[in-house]
Amino acid sequence: MYLDVVDLRAFYAERLGAIARRLISARLKKHWPSLVGEQLLGIGYATPYLAGLAGGATRTIAFMPAVQGVVNWPPEGPNATALVAADALPLPNACIDRVLVVHSLEVAENARGQLREIWRVLAPGGRVVLVVPNRRGIWTWAEKTPFGHGRPFTRSQLTVLLREAMLSPLGWSEALAAPPIARRPWLRTGTTWERIGVTFWPALAGVIIVEATKQLYQGIPSRASRRLKPALRPALIPPPAASASQGPAWPMRPAGR
């Protein structure tokens, strides 16, 4: 079930949400240091992270699922958000260079269908970054944050989903290794704890970040060779009584004749 857009906006307006945005944005920037000349699309509730990535992008738009709700973005200038069905994006084929998915895949009713739709709108060689809750992460248990809702994933589960959608993983990283504690002294040292946690206990990080690229062709799984069976099998029958006027009798004939 999708979170309401009002709850998502409220979380990122709090101190803990600001810390989460800063820590995840730092990881996203390492995956995509520059998007100059690219078409950028955010799916889910990706607007807190788009501003930090969109510098130099030709166009940046944000799609929010209809069951979640939509808010205007950016705060200044023309609105660049739209309410959509996550598995039926209102875009032509192969028109987007980069797609950022946040707060979407883990709550989607049809995660595989959503990824296939992302594959459709990606240009050849286009890339997508998914930010999803880590099944083993400590933030998964914090229901006061958006990362404690929906279906968390492991790396292997994400790999299977991506390959089924003809997307090939390129790189992995983790974020939110610091505990989800909103107390002011802890927040001041959150960046330090994040650096320590990603180094020493990455398996417990709150989110998994995976970058994948679009495959144009999908391999066909090989099948075990099947041995051909003869359609007719010879059956032995007793020969008829031979006479001088009759020719030689055949000792066998095909079955069923």
- Distance (Å, whole) CA 13 – CA 37: 30
Q: Give the pLDDT confidence of 190-209 residue by residue, as tens digits.
A: 667 677 777 777 788 899 99
Q: Which two tokens stand for residue 118?
A: 């992302």
Please report, as a single letter, which amino acid is at residue 19.
I
State phi, psi for 77 to the nearest 5 degrees. Answer: 90, -175
- Distance (Å, whole) CA 124 – CA 59: 18
How many other β-carbons are positioned within 10 Å of the β-carbon of residue 168? Answer: 11
Q: Which parts of the chain have pLDDT scores under 70?
A: 1-2, 182-191, 193, 217-257
Q: Give the pLDDT confidence of 154-181 residue by residue, as tens digits.
A: 999 999 999 999 999 999 999 998 888 7
* Domain 5-214: which CATH number of 3.20.20.150, 3.30.70.141, 3.40.50.150, 3.90.180.10: 3.40.50.150
If you ran DSSP here, which 8-state letter would residue 66 be given? T
- As separate numbers, helices (DSSP H) first and strands (DSSP E) second, the chain gives 7, 9
